[in-house]
Amino acid sequence: MEPKTLLTILHQAEKLKCVTRHCDTSTGRRESVAEHSWRLALMAMLVADEFPEADMDKVIRMCLIHDLGESFTGDIPAFEKVPGHREKEQAQLNAWVDTFPEPARREWQDLLGEMNAMETREARIYKALDNLEAVIQHNESDISTWLPLEYELQLAYGADKVGFSPYLQELKAVIDNWTRRKIAEEGNCEASV
């Protein structure tokens, strides 16, 4: 890839360092989309041995690029996102990727298509980890930053994504137990735990 093209792509991706998510970090500042994507890729790397039949390098690539559309649209919390938001984000991301030189354009188009279809093991792993990382980060934030609807959302979010994997089901159960302890320690009974 030509250096100028590389720098143009990196310039757009840099915006994810500035786009904040709904969740705080453990130190009380807003998490950036880039930080979420980085830790998601790290999660995929760390659990690679649990999925010997999967192309975990592909999963890591999916994790790294999955939120790049938010460099155009910003982040919208999952509980506020509607189909129109997803369509706009996807359209802007696709238009940007269409400007890439080959073979990067084809690789990214293929990855994005696979991620959107959610039919491969790799896509299902990436999406489950994406949801679980968000719940983990939320558990790491101060509970005073949680909205009332998030007490139940913490337990529900990602549950529909882990069913294909006993390992991910176990991980979700451990995270859910952590969530329940956090809520109980707060003495808040808003969630059905």
* pLDDT number for residue 143: 95
Confidence of residue 189 (pLDDT cuts 50, 70, 90): very low
- Topology of domain 20-186 in CATH is Hypothetical protein af1432 (1.10.3210)
Please check whether residue 175 is in contact with residue 54, taking contact to mean a CB–CB distance below 8 angstroms: no
Contact 145, 137 (CB under 8 A): no
CA distances (Å), origin 91, targets 70, 80, 95, 98: 11, 19, 6, 10
| β-sheet bridge partners, residue 20 | 32
User: Which tokens hold the place of 149?
Assistant: 């609807």
Residue spans per domain, the chain: 20-186
| Candidate from 55-59, 71-75, 124-128 with smallest mean pLDDT | 71-75
Burial-class residue 140 by CB neighbours within 10 Å (0-12, 13-18, 19+). Answer: middle
Mean pLDDT of 179-192: 74
For all residues of the chain together, what is the average pLDDT? 94
Collapse the DSSP code of 31 into the 3-class scheme (helix H, G, I; strand E, B; otherwise coil) and give the result: strand
Look at residue 78 in the predicted model and tell me its pLDDT: 85
Residue 187: pLDDT above 80?
no
CA dist 68 and 89 (Å) reads 9
Within 10-129, strands assigned E span 20-24, 30-32
Instruction: Write down the pTM of the prediction.
Output: 0.93
Is the sign of the CA dihedral 109, 31, 142, 136 positive or negative? positive
Give the integer Cα–Cα distance in Å for 186 and 156: 19
* Cα–Cα distance for residue pair 191/182, rounded to 1 Å: 11
Q: What is the largest CA-CA distance in the chain?
A: 57
pLDDT of residue 139: 97
Q: What pLDDT sits at residue 151?
A: 94
55: left (phi over 0), alpha (psi -120 to 50) or beta: beta
Choice between 79 and 165, residue whose per-residue pLDDT is larger: 165
Span 16-64, pLDDT tens digits: 999 999 999 999 999 999 999 999 999 999 999 999 999 999 999 999 9
Q: pLDDT at position 41, please?
A: 98
Residue length of the chain: 193
pLDDT reading at 190 higher than 50: no
Average pLDDT of span 85-106: 96
Residues 97-108: what's their mean pLDDT?
97
The pLDDT, as a whole number, for residue 107 is 97
How many CB atoms are located within 10 Å of the residue 54 CB?
A: 19
Q: Kindly report, residue by residue over 148-177, the tens digit of the pLDDT.
A: 999 999 999 999 999 999 999 999 999 999
